[in-house]
């Protein structure tokens, strides 16, 4: 009886063994790729070195970035997330934080005159509450530190703050905290 069971097993292995082995190999390869993908959720940043500059010289932060803790908007008399950093300075010049290309110049009511610049590696900088006398136009290539405009109080949503820069930084179309990329220690 034992010999007969052994023979059936040997016949099974001879007949279907290759399918079992191939199935196990396919399962192992799929599992390996799944585990590698799960462990490596890195965001590609490219190979371009980014040398971030401050958007204003000798600036003071009057309202910092906050996407979790609500901040009071005195002009609108409401609590809100503040996905921007607001700057003031005796020098009204606003400068590009990186080399890039001017994507858009517009005047949304709450943000005022706004310049949006596309940079390398998925970064976009947004400069709002500017004077109408913007020094660049859409499509212009700008250098890091290049003056693009001056501050004003054109942002209707923050009139109580006076002339200031309302600055945002995006990475892959999502707002990020500029403090993580720029040296903004003078607050």
Q: What is the pLDDT of residues 13-25, one digit of tens each?
A: 777 778 878 888 8
Task: Identify the H or E element spanning 30.
Answer: helix 2-39
Rounded to whole angstroms, the Cα distance separating 69 from 76 reads 17
Note whether 121 and 50 are within 8 A (CB). Answer: yes
Asked whether the whole model's pTM tops 0.75, one would answer no
| The listed CATH number (2.60.120.620, 2.70.70.10, 2.40.160.40, 2.30.110.10) that belongs to domain 60-180 | 2.70.70.10
Q: Long-range contact list for 129-132, CB < 8 A, 24+ apart?
A: 129/153, 129/154, 129/155, 129/158, 129/163, 129/164, 129/165, 129/166, 130/94, 130/154, 130/165, 131/92, 132/107
- What are the tens digits of pLDDT across the range 30-77? 887 777 766 544 444 555 567 789 999 999 999 999 888 888 888 888
Domain boundaries, the chain: 1-42, 60-180
**Structure confidence at residue 43 (pLDDT):** 46
Q: How far apart are CA 171 and CA 72, in angstroms?
A: 25
- Among 92, 33, 25, CA closest to 58: 92
């Amino acid at each position: 009886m034992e010999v007969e069971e052994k023979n059936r097993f040997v016949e099974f292995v001879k007949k279907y063994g290759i399918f079992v082995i191939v199935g196990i190999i396919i399962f192992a390869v799929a599992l390996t790729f799944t585990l590698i993908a799960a462990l490596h959720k890195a965001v590609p940043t490219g190979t371009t070195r980014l040398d971030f500059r401050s958007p204003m010289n000798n600036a003071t932060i009057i309202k910092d970035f906050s996407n979790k803790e609500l901040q009071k908007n005195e002009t609108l008399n409401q609590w809100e997330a503040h996905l921007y950093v607001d700057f003031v300075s005796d020098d009204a010049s606003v400068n590009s934080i990186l080399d890039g290309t001017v994507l858009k110049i517009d005047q949304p009511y709450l943000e005022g005159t706004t310049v949006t610049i596309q940079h390398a590696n998925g970064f976009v900088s947004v400069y709002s509450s500017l004077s109408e006398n913007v020094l660049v136009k859409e499509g212009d290539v700008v250098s890091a530190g290049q003056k693009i405009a001056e501050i004003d109080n054109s942002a209707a949503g923050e009139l109580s703050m006076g002339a200031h820069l309302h600055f945002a930084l995006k990475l892959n179309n999502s707002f990020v905290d500029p403090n993580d990329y720029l040296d903004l220690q003078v607050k």
